Amino acid sequence: MRRQLALFIFVWLPSVVSAQEIEHAISCNNTPLLFPKQVLTTDAKNIKVVADYSEGNKGNYLLTGNASLNSAEFYLSADKIMVEKTTEASSASGNVKFQGKQIMLTADNILIKKQGAVTQSIFEQAQYHYIGTKINGQAKKITNDGSKQTFDSMTYSLCPIGNTDWQVKANKVTINPKTNRGIAENVTIEFMGVPIFYTPHHEWILKGRDSGFLIPSISRYTESDSSENKGYQFRIPYYFNLAPERDFLLTLNQLTTRGSVIEGTYRQLLNKGRVEIQGHYLNQDKIKKSNRWLLNTQLDLSLNDKTELTLITNRVSDREYFKEITHENTDKTTLMSSINVAYENKKNNLSASIFAENEQLLSGNAEYTRMPEISLSKKITNPDNREINLSIIGTKFKHTDATKETGTRIHTQAVFARNIKTDTYSMRPKFVASKTKYLMDNRANEGRSIYSLNIDSTLFLERDTHLFAKNLTQTLNPRLAYNYTPERDQSALANFDSEKINASYENLFSGKKFTGLDRISKTNDIVIGLESDLINKKTGATYLALKIAQARHLDDTTLDTDGNLVPQDKYSNIATDIALTLNKFTLGNALQYDPDTSKIAKSSSMLGYVVNPKKFINFTHEDDGEQRSAGIYGAYPITQKVHLFAGINRSLTDSINNKKTFGIAYESCCWAVRIAHFNEYTSTGIYDEITKFELILKGLASSDSTLVERLRKEIPNYLTD
């Protein structure tokens, strides 16, 4: 009897499971099951049979009264289980429960019959539940004829069992694995018992992606000009699955004050790369009476196993496009387009690249662009941690302002370094020699030869301690460095890309005082620093990290951005960096203290209290020496399912609110809704405002999936499911 029952069940099980292979993830754990989950037996050869009564006659078996079958593959229970050997059929009736490795089923009656090599099955008044994906629903009848499955009067949802806040209903669904197609008749999507979508006929592919409409979205915006007119944005997207390796998203974006924007995004996976093209087009803006457009492209292509090509294009029709049309990325000042061909031979430590870029200015002043830049570098290493880095970079600098000087810079450099490290200390001596040639377009050529010496050392000390009722390891790492670069007059050299850098903790030890290559500052400094961490011995978590450093300038002059020597103090600012994590509190602070004025020159601070991603508050403060700003960000639950969120960043220098974000959200294990308002300062007295709405039927679709990423950007630590 056991072998006969196993034959029917093992053949029937794969056909049931294959009826649905869609994977969905839902954030809620401990959701109810159809019935208590049974522990399958570990005996792979036998089936455990339990029944109050059993009868057998000529190979036919009848189990009644709490009958159940338990194997390594399935569990089946019912009031009555019948196995008929002569007709090769099995049936179960009365409180039928079936559990496989992926699915649970309940039904009033089931019939499984084998005809030749084909196994057919019928489930009446069935309820199903896919354990891993949370998919569940009901069907008046489920029929499997061996080639396809048919569901009569079917429902489908990812809400917890017993919750039908949203569900999909269909009169009939046919799933055919052989043709990889599913067909549904008279499909209705219900939300809170109200139909929100209907189609008389729907077809889709079972494995892979399919074409079709995505959920539309709606938002409300305010024109970012002096008119401050209100408008609504309606977006209707349609997805085209052109082939397994390429697709196209077409969207009609209707702006009530501007007109209809046609948006398209094409993506394709290539044999050795990918390409993406995004375009927007608005024919005759109602307000500006002109055509508006956007074009973004990116091509990533492996030309061979060592050479990569990257081509990026970012362009818009005019400077106000983001503020007036998309109401996103309004803080962008430039759009960069570029092409880069990079070669890397890891075996020989050889690399080369050709790079060129072009800038579209949206606001502010234009910068130099590289048209092109060619680089070549070679790294030589040996077993005793000595290394030599040789490089040459040639860059042609161009500028849209005719009054700016342009030319070509050729920079050659050799770096000699050695890494020495033991359990108690580390040391890295480094010597850099470079020569730079300037081939100017409108004046005499110039050049510079210079060298630098850097020795950076760290001592490793640690001890065990006990704080906060935890066993900790405290590290103490004194750090000492010497940086030397001789004086060179650089006032005649062009300055294409060098700016003064922040004298932070790490920058003090590097000896660098400028970005780029046009300015290499005179340096004769001794840098002293200290690092200390408190680390949980059990988990490895760092509770406290401290850093402090100061440089002693042995020379009384240094270089400014114009290449001239200017006086400097004997001591640099004291740079500190603190990171503290204690239970739900976090504190981060990086500052530079000027000992001559006894004032803080620059600072960046953050204080946070985080219970969970829906209950937290963060305070930030930034002072770069010229502009000061402060921010408050947080979320607070009103109920278990409803929470508020908000964020504000204010310029203390200009008394202007740079950005304001606030909203409300409802989230359950079944669905969620969010309303968020964004207010961003764009120019004097003018703000860009937009209100976005998102409805999420979890596991099915979202009406505006872009809202989540924008909230994460505007409100740090706010994570939405």
Same domain, yes or no, for 584 and 642? no
Is 19 domain-assigned?
A: no
Same domain, yes or no, for 165 and 119? yes
**Facing residues of 391 across strands?**
377, 413
Same domain, yes or no, for 271 and 350? yes
Asked if residues 324 and 223 have their Cβ atoms less than 8 Å apart, the reply is yes
Same domain, yes or no, for 319 and 364? yes
Is 1 domain-assigned?
A: no
Same domain, yes or no, for 494 and 577? yes
Give the global pTM.
Answer: 0.81
Asked if residues 165 and 26 have their Cβ atoms less than 8 Å apart, the reply is no
Q: End of a domain among 179, 213, 247?
A: 213
Q: Token match 């729907």: residue?
A: 202
Separation CA 520–CA 508 (nearest Å): 14
Residues 6+ apart with CB under 8 A from 612: none
Same domain, yes or no, for 66 and 196? yes
Same domain, yes or no, for 58 and 153? yes
State whether residue 607 is helix, strand or coil: strand
| DSSP conformation class of 317 | S
Instruction: Please provide the DSSP assignment of 607-676 as one string.
Output: EEEEEETTEEEEEEEEE-SS-EEEEEEEEEESSSSEEEEEEEEEETTTTEEEEEEEEEEEE-SSEEEEEE
**Do the bridges between strand 136-144 and strand 181-191 make them parallel or antiparallel, or are there none, so unpaired?**
unpaired
Separation CA 469–CA 380 (nearest Å): 50
Separation CA 62–CA 91 (nearest Å): 10
Separation CA 517–CA 314 (nearest Å): 27
pLDDT given for residue 252 in this prediction: 96
Same domain, yes or no, for 137 and 222? no
Low-confidence ranges of the chain (pLDDT < 70): 1-29, 225-228, 684-685, 720-721
Q: Please report the beta strands in 51-135, taking only residues with DSSP state E, as ranges in sequence order.
A: 53-57, 60-70, 75-84, 89-99, 103-115, 118-130
| DSSP conformation class of 40 | P
pLDDT given for residue 4 in this prediction: 31
Q: Which helix (H) or strand (E) holds 315?
A: strand 307-316
pLDDT given for residue 6 in this prediction: 32
Residues 6+ apart with CB under 8 A from 482: 453, 454, 455, 525, 526, 527
Tokens, residue 91:
């049936």
Q: Token match 């760290």: residue?
A: 458
Q: What is the number of alpha carbons within 13 Å of residue 506 lying toward its C-beta?
A: 1
Instruction: Please tell me the total number of residues recorded for the chain in this structure.
Output: 721
Same domain, yes or no, for 369 and 474? no
Tokens, residue 145:
């004829």
Q: What is the number of alpha carbons within 13 Å of residue 452 lying toward its C-beta?
A: 22
> What is the 3-class SS of 153-175, one letter each residue?
EEEEECCCCCCCCEEEEEEEEEE
Q: How many domains does the chain have?
A: 4
Q: End of a domain among 184, 213, 242?
A: 213
Is 492 domain-assigned?
A: yes
Q: Token match 């033991």: residue?
A: 422
Is 297 domain-assigned?
A: yes
Same domain, yes or no, for 246 and 207? no
What does the radius of gyration of the chain's CA atoms come to, in whole angstroms? 34
Separation CA 101–CA 565 (nearest Å): 76
**Backbone phi, then psi, for 74, in 5-degree steps?**
-155, 165
Torsion, Cα of 513, 517, 522, 525 (10° steps): 40
Domain carrying residue 626: 613-720
Q: End of a domain among 559, 590, 621?
A: 590
Is 435 domain-assigned?
A: no
pLDDT given for residue 684 in this prediction: 59
Same domain, yes or no, for 691 and 636? yes
Region label for 149, one of left (φ > 0), alpha (ψ between -120 and 50) or beta (otherwise): beta
Is 607 domain-assigned?
A: no
Same domain, yes or no, for 53 and 198? yes
Which candidate, 540, 427, 552, places its Cα nearest to that of 477?
A: 427
Is 650 domain-assigned?
A: yes
Q: Token match 């390796």: residue?
A: 245
Instruction: Please provide the DSSP assignment of 339-361 as one string.
Output: EEEEEEETTTTEEEEEEEEEEEE
**Backbone phi, then psi, for 34, in 5-degree steps?**
-65, -40
pLDDT given for residue 85 in this prediction: 72
Is 386 domain-assigned?
A: no
Asked if residues 76 and 98 have their Cβ atoms less than 8 Å apart, the reply is yes
Separation CA 235–CA 256 (nearest Å): 11
